A and B are shown apart, each in its own frame.
Chain A
Amino acid sequence: MTTKKSETKSSGKFERPDGRKVNELRPIWAKVGVVPNADGSAIYASGDTIAIAAVYGPKQMHPQHSQNPEKGTLRCTYLMNSFSVNERIKPGPNRRSMEISKITEWALEPVLMLKDFPSQVIDVHINIIQADAGTRCAGINAASMALAHAGVPMKSLVTSVSAGKLDKTLVIDLDKEEEDFEEGEGPTDIPLSFTGDGKITHMQLDGKISPAQLKEAVEMARESAKEIHKIQVKALKDSVEGDKK
């Protein structure tokens, strides 16, 4: 099995495997209020990656000795379904899912006002139903909508997107095929999360990139995040309009 390679034409113009422009996002679909029992919930899909998030809280934290009397706790669990990928993942948490759970907490916490909820906890549960790269970004986007839907006080939403580099070209929103890109300098994957006013709350990087290109990639990501933010806002507003019918 070989990865379909994208070509850098002789004219120097780079073509992505699915034909997208370099700063073009995959088609996005988002809906709020998908888990009736939860205080807030949302589903976020980017291309073939689908994430559901459900929020419970703020509520009493158990066990009592875990309570923080100075501020509330944000607890995130991220889990990929066994059948979300080609090679089955054994059910249950693993190191990767635990790391991403923590990353998600760090990405969301800056917009929450946890000092207003001492000794309490907000639980965010993320489940990846179908994975085609960008799962942690999809999870954070779904979680952000679910938190707002749950009425949790927030300074703004959090929007997550991956920037990247394929050989020498900067791109936005890598899919799985691009993550496996083999030509030239290979792939560089940079998942980022932003607050509503463009501050970075989460950043990771895998690959090879110069500081100059990295700055450019972050700028591209910030612009794309604005587009995604509009979709998150619409999903939240539609959830109210929907009841009006």
Chain B
Amino acid sequence: MITPKINGDVIKKYLNEGKRFDGRGFDEFREIIIEPNVSKKAEGSARVKIGKTEVIVGIKMDIGTPYPDSMDKGNLITSAEILPMSSDRIELGKPGFESIEIGRITDRVLRESGFIDFKGLCIKEGEKVWNLYVDIYSINDDGNLLDAAGIGAVAALKWARMPKYDEETGKADYHEHRDELPLDENVPISLTFHKVGDHFIIDPNREEEDFSETRITLGSKKGIISSIQKGESHQVSVEDFGKVLDRMEVVWKEVLKSIEKQIEKNKK
């Protein structure tokens, strides 16, 4: 059931007092846990838990042909599926817009940040390149699937090992995994600020997200912003946006620390 409006009134009242229900600060994430090896058959995979929200991301690779306007670059294909098991609100049927948006926002965070060296995924210019698939699945939705997806994608890519390219068959050989992906050592992060009542908060749980009137997702790497998506329909003043940017610079440092620590811990 969608959270009752009277709860929303209390949430907003509490925010006016500078507080959140679970005692977090406006810029504080719930505990982030990142685990590797969700699936042995993936080239790389990660399970991300932010509080009770859980998302799994898998990397698969195969051989493809380059796009005409990037003959020496591999291809990135990002998809997301909000599984019906993750909440009681999902209608069965085609992937909803939310799934599509998570896929596209995560794609932008990965692509625009320069995190992936696409030229490093080229096998034979104009003919054969690696296709890099990032597939995101939500297992439990307790708010902020967006940022969980971004964290999962980055961790899975960092932990991934490329299959071998079999010259004879022209296909990928999944029996041998050796090389890491050609990635920048700095990881991109996606951070979404949500406007609830008169305030912007980060990492809303489901109750808070139900009263999010608009959100801004910022993709950044080493402090440089490379992608933005503003979602939902309320308006934001330029001054408020400036304040969000100021806060972002502090938040991403904290989140980055937590993510990098866990990625390093699980590097083979």
Contact = CB atoms under 8 A, between A and B. Distances in A.
A119 B79 CA distance: 35
Contacts of A84: 39, 41-42, 58
Interface of A: 1, 35-38, 41, 48, 50, 52-54, 56, 62, 75, 77, 79, 81-88, 91-92, 123, 125, 127, 129-131
Given A82-B58, A88-B133, A92-B95, A130 B38 contact: yes
A75 B84 CA distance: 12
B214 interface: no
Q: Is the interface of A mostly helix, strand, loop or mixed?
A: loop
Interface string B185-219: 00000000000000000000000000000000000
Contacts of A53: 85
B95 A83 contact: no
Interface stretch (B12-20, B24-32, B86-94): B86-94
Contact of A130 (B40, B95, B174): B40
A130 B83 contact: no
Contact of A36 (B52, B84, B133): B52
Contact of A48 (B40, B52, B175): B40
Contacts of B41: 83-86, 130-131
A1 to B, nearest CB: 7
20 contacts: A35-B86, A35-B140, A37-B87, A37-B140, A37-B141, A48-B40, A50-B39, A53-B85, A75-B92, A77-B84, A81-B39, A81-B56, A81-B137, A82-B60, A82-B135, A84-B41, A84-B42, A123-B84, A125-B85, A129-B38
Question: Which 9 pairs between the two chains have the least Cβ-Cβ distance?
Answer: A83-B58, A54-B85, A83-B42, A88-B60, A125-B85, A82-B135, A130-B39, A86-B174, A36-B52
Contacts of A86: 41, 174
Contacts of B92: 75, 77, 123
B169 to A, nearest CB: 9
A62 B92 CA distance: 10
A46 B175 CA distance: 22
A62 B84 CA distance: 15
Given A79-B83, A88-B133, A123-B92, 11 more contacts: A35-B139, A36-B140, A37-B52, A37-B88, A37-B142, A48-B40, A50-B39, A54-B85, A83-B58, A88-B60, A125-B84
A14 B137 CA distance: 41
B87 A83 contact: no
B40 A127 contact: no
A123 B85 CA distance: 9
A86 B141 CA distance: 28
B72 interface: no
B112 interface: no
A125 B91 CA distance: 12
B33 to A, nearest CB: 14
B35 interface: no
A92 B174 CA distance: 23
Contacts of A35: 54, 85-86, 139-140
Interface in B86-126: 86-88, 91-92, 95
A131 B83 CA distance: 18
A82 B42 CA distance: 9
B62 A129 contact: no
Contacts of A91: 79, 81, 135
A127 B81 CA distance: 12
A207 B173 CA distance: 28
Contacts of B144: none
A87 to B, nearest CB: 7
B39 to A, nearest CB: 4
B50 to A, nearest CB: 13
A135 B139 CA distance: 18
B227 interface: no
Contact of B45 (A41, A62, A83): A83
A77 B140 CA distance: 16
A1 B54 CA distance: 37
A75 B54 CA distance: 24
Nearest to B171: A87
B45 A1 contact: no
B59 interface: yes
Interface in B138-185: 139-142, 173-175
A52, A56, A86, A87 — which one has the most chain B CB atoms within 10 A of its CB?
A86
A56 B38 CA distance: 24
A75 B85 CA distance: 13
A127 B47 CA distance: 15
B58 A81 contact: yes
A67 B40 CA distance: 41
A52 B43 CA distance: 21
